[in-house]
Amino acid sequence: MTSETFGARVHHALATRGQFCVGIDPHAGLLAQWGLPDDVSGLERFAMTVVEAVAPSASVVKPQSAFYERFGSRGVAVLERVIAESRAAGALVLLDVKRGDIGSTTQAYADAYLDPASPLAADAITASPYLGFGSLDPMVDTARRHGAGVFVLALTSNKEGPEVQHARADDGGTVAGGVLRRLGELNAGAEPLGSFGAVVGATIGETDESFAINGPLLAPGFGAQGGTPADLRRIFGSAAGAVLASSSREVLRLGPEPQAMTDAVRRGNDELAEALA
């Protein structure tokens, strides 16, 4: 994909384009709100309008694969366009797939999403470590080989998350803390930033975990879901400069007018810059 690491690319994007990440999530309710049919034609019009509006100014866009997959192969073809045209406009693409498996299956997922030979290749993907962190090794190795990145679920804000993520391991630390520690090890010595990030909800509340992983931090739930710039400063502390604050509805509800969505990205970046500087 590139000789430059994802960590270096995302560090530059945060510095030049800001910390606001836009989720391109064409769920049925938004298609209806835009007056579009819940079919492939509506999906394509929605997704490409959003790309046109936000990809030239957002540092990262984050399409959620499931909303495209539900339309079958034609929906996946739209996702391929979203990835290609967003990257052509200068945005990094973080494909939200949350894949996690073992062995050759994990390698196949890595080849699908991180190998530049694939039409679905993105700059980075999300992944689940809950079959054991080592099960992600094929993704890590493939990302390193192609200059891509992996964001690993650590502390999500869904109500079911704590039963796994807050559980205590044999060493007395939490499962989430172990994920963060392993990410820090993967990123050790990387400059200016490692390529392996954590997914940490912007609405998780109080935590004693350390987010000094020398890598990017994806914080979904910013904006319409209740996460604020003050929350990000409180949660991430000195690591706040590496945060990608992700929002979808906050921007997408303003469509189908492209300029309104473009302006929302600029406002989001301005608010984050003021709060996290």
Give the pLDDT confidence of 133-144 residue by residue, as tens digits: 999 999 999 999
- Identify the segments of the chain with pLDDT beneath 70: 1-2
How far is CA 78 from each of CA 94, 113, 180, 254, rounded to the nearest angstrom?
16, 15, 34, 21
Give the tens place of pLDDT for each residue, 251-266: 999 999 999 999 999 9
- Of 27, 98, 233, 249, which is the active-site residue? 98
- At 229 the pLDDT is 87
* Residue 32 in tokens: 């209806």
The Cα–Cα gap between 16 and 88 comes to 17
CATH code of the domain in which 46 resides: 3.20.20.70
pLDDT at residue 2, as a whole number: 63
Task: Confirm whether 98 is a catalytic residue.
Answer: yes
The domain of 237 spans 6-275
> Mapping DSSP to helix (H, G, I), strand (E, B) and coil, where does residue 221 land?
coil
Predicted local confidence at residue 57, as pLDDT: 97
Question: Is residue 83 situated within a structural domain?
Answer: yes
Domain count, the chain: 1
Residue 1, in any domain of the structure: no
Does 205 fall in a domain? Answer: yes
Return the sign of the alpha-carbon dihedral for residues 182, 212, 203, 53: negative
In a domain, 236, yes or no: yes
